[in-house]
Amino acid sequence: MNTLHSGHATSRRRWHVGGITLLLIGVLSAAEAWAQCGVPCADPMKACVCVIEPVDAPVNLVPFGSVMRQPARVGLSLSSGDQLSSVRADAIAEVACPGGSEVKLHGQFLAIVKPSGPGQDCVFDLLAGNADVLGAKPTQVEAGDTLMGSSTTLYSIRVRRAGEALDVECLVFEGEAQVRYQNRWSRGVKEGSKTAWRRGSGDPTQLQVSDPDVRATSSVYARADLARLRIRGERPSDPRALLNELNASYARVMTRPRDAQARLQLAALQTDLGNSKQVLYHVQRAEQAGPVREDQKTAIAVMKYTALKQTGRDAEANVEIEKVRALDPAQYERIRKLDPAKIRLSDPALQRIRKTP
């Protein structure tokens, strides 16, 4: 399996899952990583804890060189050897790497920060629990006799111990993955499929991602988004309705990853929430899915302009606002008078765009 490269300098993140190492390759500026995290991080060059949900969740930190457990907090930068854990089944800890990947640890999890080499982003050992990953670059997983490679960008890894056995499950929501274990078997995992195996015995089981799988994963993403608003001091008028809308929107994308309209609906919702990285990610995926309708082009340009301005990419943002000028001069006049940091598609001036996708 070949490692793919973009035209920019790459950053790398490694995850170790039992005998599996997951290598994430991505590119994001410090400004983008900060915008996605939504809180000031103690050190923008390190991994940052962005979300802890629920607010009273006992997510614990054991700093390297210590045996003393202390509560983890939002905005905390993580150093090599630090350990994050929770014994609470409903706990979520979202970590943003300096290169921009979103990694959501949840359930009863245990993860240790490992040293990063040159060109790497953050490195973790996932010893137990769940990791849900969203990243815009290809991935590769390898360690000794076990190798997993994928161009997927939205997937989950689940690690469970049953007695002496370790059960591993990999769910692929986008793209494809290839898994090989100790040269004993090799399997391709297609989009919408999952592979489950017990390390040390038997061949893997190939299954389809189920509705409960989708609901469980979309719930984690939706809860993290709502928590991010709370952390920024923003309160939606109807949190329950917003949570349900997020759940449904994520589920549509995970069930139909090549549905451009589902992507744009989620991107519009993420614009409302100010989640710039998610906006750019889903708009890009929508554009890759096929020709964009004429009535969607203005909405896409406004969403990209907003997200790019929020992440400090002014030159690219200017290209998008010029597209708005050409497509809809009246809309351009309204947009250019607004502070890009405060643009929300639910604003009265932008109601038509919110409905477009």
Give tens-digit pLDDT for 301-312.
999 999 999 888
335 assigned to some structural domain: yes
What is the span of the domain harbouring residue 272? 258-357
Residue 35, pLDDT score: 56
222 falls within a domain? no
CA dist 22 and 139 (Å) reads 7
Tell me whether residue 230 is in a domain: no
Count of the separate structural domains present in the chain: 2
What is the crossing angle of helices 260-273 and 276-289, to 10°? 170
**CA–CA–CA angle 104, 105, 111 (5° rounding):** 130
Are 52 and 169 contained in the same domain?
A: yes
* 188 and 328 within one domain: no
* 19 and 150 part of one domain: yes
- The pLDDT of residue 146: 47
- One domain, residues 90 and 185: yes
CATH number for the domain spanning 313: value is 1.25.40
**CA dist., res. 353 & res. 346, Å (int):** 9
Q: How far apart are CA 4 and CA 1, in angstroms?
A: 9
Residue 45 sits in the same domain as residue 141: yes
**Cβ-Cβ contacts under 8 Å for 70 (sequence gap 6 or more):** 60, 61, 62, 63
Q: Are residues 43 and 159 in the same domain?
A: yes
Q: What is the pLDDT along the chain (357 residues), one digit of tens a residue?
A: 333 333 334 445 565 555 555 555 444 455 555 555 777 787 877 888 999 999 888 999 999 999 999 999 999 999 889 999 999 999 999 998 777 778 899 999 998 887 766 656 667 777 888 988 887 654 433 333 444 455 557 888 888 887 777 888 888 998 887 777 777 778 888 899 998 887 766 678 889 999 999 999 999 999 999 999 999 888 888 999 999 999 999 999 999 999 998 999 999 999 988 888 889 989 999 998 878 888 789 889 999 999 999 888 999 999 999 999 999 998 899 888 888 777 777 776 666 666 665
Between CA 42 and CA 20 the distance in angstroms is 30
Q: What is the pTM of this model?
A: 0.86
Residues 38 and 158 in one domain: yes
The whole-angstrom separation of Cα 105 and Cα 124 is 11
Taking Cα atoms as reference points, which of 257, 346, 246, 343 lies closest to residue 303?
A: 343
User: What pLDDT does residue 15 have?
Assistant: 59
